[in-house]
Amino acid sequence: MSKFSDEITFKLKSVNQPRYGENPQQDAAIYEIESVSGIPLEKIVPIIFAEKLNGKQMSFNNWLDADGVLKMLWQFDEPAATVFKHVTPSGVAEGDSILEAYKKAWNCDPLSAFGGVAGVNRKITKEVAEYITHKKFLEVILAPEYEDDALEVLCKKKNMRVLKMNTDMPKEIGYDIRMITGGFLIQEFNFSKLTPDSLIYLEDKGIKKPTEKQIQDMIFGWYVARRTRSNTVLLVKDLATIGIGSGQQSRVDAAFIAGWKANKPYDVLLGKAEEKETRYIDDQIYNLANSVGITPNGRSNGSVAVSDAFYPFPDAIEVLSSYGVNASLSPAGSIRDKSSYEAMKKLDMAAAHTPYVEKGGYKGGMRAFLH
């Protein structure tokens, strides 16, 4: 029997009107769910309840990104930070402190993070606020609390929206509700916990078991992948993303982009941009073939890859190995899994699969698609 009601009725109340929609030529409005039949209202936790402490009016796109930030932060108990750009993360990290986590998240892809929407799951101190604002630009920052000195620093950026909201995952997280033309799609959220014991190791297939550290990076990366637009392949090192290949129609392209982003010479690029007081990068230092081609000599070397679905061919694994990636987490389920295993053995790559799922005709590993 379905857990979803046969009939659901929403009552919406207008609460705000952004300057425009996704683009300036589109009008838009923001509505709060005032009441709903068929779904307990406490199962819906809207981002629009965030308290704005500073900055301009939130735009349509700001709300979408802030919602993505909040749902990403829900997943982490340790100090964590993320920066979103265009409804997908440019970087996510855990650290011993929020300052460490935020630095790692920003430095995953600082070119993309510029002008993004960021969030952390701990109180922002003055030191963190100074790092956030020093020669960096954010549209929005979200946190559960702020020190008074931190707010003073952040509010010097008059246009930056400063949002305050509890970032802990609610006990009742409700449903993932999305509108399509003429109707709604409603499903459970994909927030199930993974543990080292729940992963499937492939030693019986002659593939090395990942180290304890690699397993930690795999689980962290899985949580990031399921809040990142599919197809996604991402690279993780020391509980931080270092390259995210998201939203690709081809998994091999996603793998290539993840390594390409991980190995961009950000220090050179950002240094040159700062020197010129512009974000323009001249061709002499930004030589794609020489600086960010397939190479195992950059940050990608020794990293862990996480794929949100199975590898349909071994080509993505071969690309990842060319970047120096030495471990992979992915679902099983391809009719060509055996060829992927052969590639992993040949390339001396450790690997694990996500837990097995059999439902609705699907047989394979737990996936992390997000459309």
Residues 313-369 have pLDDT tens digits of 999 999 999 999 999 999 999 999 999 999 999 999 999 999 999 989 999 999 999
Q: Are both 9-164 and 194-263+298-365 of the same fold?
A: yes
What mean pLDDT comes out for the span 255-266?
90
CA-CA distance, 121 to 74, in Å (whole number)?
Answer: 8
Burial 26-42 (b: 16+ CB within 10 A, else e): eebeeeeeeebeebeee
- Which residue's entry shows tokens 């349509």? 60
Assess whether pLDDT exceeds 70 at residue 215.
yes
Model confidence band, residue 226 (pLDDT cutoffs 50, 70, 90):
very high
Tens of pLDDT, residues 84-113: 999 999 999 999 999 999 999 999 999 999
What string of DSSP letters covers 220-253? HHHHHHTTSPSS-EEEESSSBEEEEE-S-SSHHH
Assess whether pLDDT exceeds 80 at residue 230.
yes
Residue 31 has what pLDDT? 87
pTM: 0.91
Residue 91 has what pLDDT? 98
Assess whether pLDDT exceeds 80 at residue 82.
yes
Residue 288 has what pLDDT? 46
CA-CA distance, 263 to 210, in Å (whole number)?
Answer: 23
- Lowest-confidence range among 42-56, 153-167, 321-335? 42-56
CATH of domain 9-164: 3.40.140.20
> How buried is residue 301: exposed, middle or buried, by Cβ count under 10 Å (0-12/13-18/19+)?
middle
- For residue 231, is the peptide bond before it cis, meaning its omega torsion is within 30 degrees of 0? yes
Domain ranges of the chain: 9-164, 194-263+298-365
Assess whether pLDDT exceeds 60 at residue 176.
yes
Q: For a pLDDT cut of 70, what percent of the chain falls above it? A: 90
Q: For a pLDDT cut of 90, what percent of the chain falls above it? A: 72
Assess whether pLDDT exceeds 60 at residue 28.
yes
CA-CA distance, 156 to 55, in Å (whole number)?
Answer: 10
Residue 15 has what pLDDT? 82
What mean pLDDT comes out for the span 305-310?
96
Assess whether pLDDT exceeds 50 at residue 254.
yes
Assess whether pLDDT exceeds 70 at residue 43.
no
What mean pLDDT comes out for the span 122-150?
97
CA-CA distance, 73 to 217, in Å (whole number)?
Answer: 17
CA-CA distance, 33 to 184, in Å (whole number)?
Answer: 15
What mean pLDDT comes out for the span 220-248?
97
Residue 124 has what pLDDT? 98
What mean pLDDT comes out for the span 156-162?
96
CA-CA distance, 123 to 306, in Å (whole number)?
Answer: 30
State residue 34 phi and psi, 5-degree precision. Answer: -80, -40
Give the CA count within 13 Å in the CB-facing half-sphere of 354: 30
Q: Please list, in sequence order, all residues whose beta carbon lies within 8 angstroms of the beta carbon of residue 84, skipping any fewer than 6 positions away.
A: 65, 66, 68, 69, 72, 90, 116, 117, 118, 119
Assess whether pLDDT exceeds 90 at residue 268.
no
- Which CATH architecture best describes the domain 194-263+298-365? 3-Layer(aba) Sandwich (3.40)
